[in-house]
Amino acid sequence: MASEVLSGSLVEVLRTPAPEVIVLPTTKEVDIQAFKILAQTVIDKPRAVLTLATGGTPLGLYALMAEAHKSHVLDFSGVTTKNLDEYWPLPKDHPQSYSRFMKDNLFNKINIPACQRHIPDSSAEDPLKETARYQSTLQSIGSSDLTILGIGPEMTCHIAFNERGSSLGSRVRLVDVSEETIKANARFFGGDQTEVPRRAITQGVADILESKRIILLAKGKSKALGIKRTLEGEISEDAPASFLRLHPKVTFILDEEAGSLLTRD
């Protein structure tokens, strides 16, 4: 199965342009570059559909979006958003739920109506029903105009909660959070790994690849090995982010540290 996926992928690689890779000197410039792409998307299409990420990486971008709204530079009232993932189970208003994260860091600071914001329900009683509901929500909204991604630390190479072993065809599902991710995310739970939920609902790799355009942001040394593996290693389930190389319009925006191990021409 893996080799079938791989040989299928190789055919696609031959047809797909190499991903655009932009390495910038500072994290601030990464945020600005990402903001320019996002702003242009919303200016070109006021009813744009955006897929959004959580985590530390997009915070600078979200701050710029909030600033743009405050200074009346951008209007987000027509925008629809679909979040990549959410822990399960966790009360919706838990300080570390992604629903709360999005409100605190973005939604309470810009003007996207609540009915146009979509995220899996961390408090759903039946997670399987919730994954089915979220998949059908994604389908009824249609493909995103722009997806913002981060990447997991070190060699996890995860995108959303698609951990190592996630297939190219994977869809919205309930997954186990890997031990490495639990360790990395414990910093948000007062450093206590036992507080990190063991499961999550995530968009699959196939859902992510349906976006018309994707930007992956990576900052800092802890991302350097994973970025090298993603861009220069084989395209495989061993590094879910490597599947992005099959997408015709993907841009990796890296700071100097995250891009430091890439082979330069």
The residue (of 103 and 133) whose beta carbon lies closer to ligand PGA is 103
**Hey, is 46 helix, strand or coil?**
coil
For position 246 contacting ligand PGA by CB under 6 A, the verdict is no
Nearest to 44 by CA among 14, 79, 87: 79
For position 150 contacting ligand PGA by CB under 6 A, the verdict is yes
The residue (of 10 and 208) whose beta carbon lies closer to ligand PGA is 208
Displacement of CA 130 from its chain's centroid (Å): 20
Instruction: Using the rule CB under 6 A, give the single segment among 106-114, 125-133, 145-153, 233-241 that binds ligand PGA.
Output: 145-153
Give the phi and the psi of residue 100 in degrees, each rounded to 5: -65, -40
Give dist(CA 246, CA 252) in Å, integer: 13
Among 23, 151, 208, 254, which residue sits at the site for ligand PGA (rule: CB under 6 A)? 151
For position 204 contacting ligand PGA by CB under 6 A, the verdict is no
Alpha carbon of 220 to those of 52, 59, 244: distances in Å? 20, 14, 20
Q: How many residues bind ligand PGA (CB under 6 A)?
A: 7
**Shortest CB 248 distance to ligand PGA, Å:** 23
Which tokens belong to 211? Answer: 């976006």
Among 152, 204, 226, 240, which residue sits at the site for ligand PGA (rule: CB under 6 A)? 152
Q: In degrees, to the nearest 5, what angle opens at C-alpha 44 toward C-alphas 40 and 49?
A: 85
For position 215 contacting ligand PGA by CB under 6 A, the verdict is no
For position 56 contacting ligand PGA by CB under 6 A, the verdict is yes
**Shortest CB 261 distance to ligand PGA, Å:** 17
For position 57 contacting ligand PGA by CB under 6 A, the verdict is yes
Displacement of CA 14 from its chain's centroid (Å): 25
Q: How many residues does the chain have?
A: 265
**Hey, is 163 helix, strand or coil?**
coil
Instruction: Using the rule CB under 6 A, give the single segment among 15-23, 35-43, 52-60, 196-204 that binds ligand PGA.
Output: 52-60
Pairing of strands 146-149, 214-218: parallel
The residue (of 75 and 180) whose beta carbon lies closer to ligand PGA is 180
The residue (of 55 and 89) whose beta carbon lies closer to ligand PGA is 55
For position 203 contacting ligand PGA by CB under 6 A, the verdict is no
Which tokens belong to 176? Answer: 């186990």
Chain position carrying tokens 């996630």: 166
The residue (of 26 and 111) whose beta carbon lies closer to ligand PGA is 26
Burial class (CB in 10 A: 0-12, 13-18, 19+), 195: middle
For position 211 contacting ligand PGA by CB under 6 A, the verdict is no
Residue type (1 letter), 110 = I
Residues that bind ligand PGA (CB under 6 A): 55-57, 150-152, 158
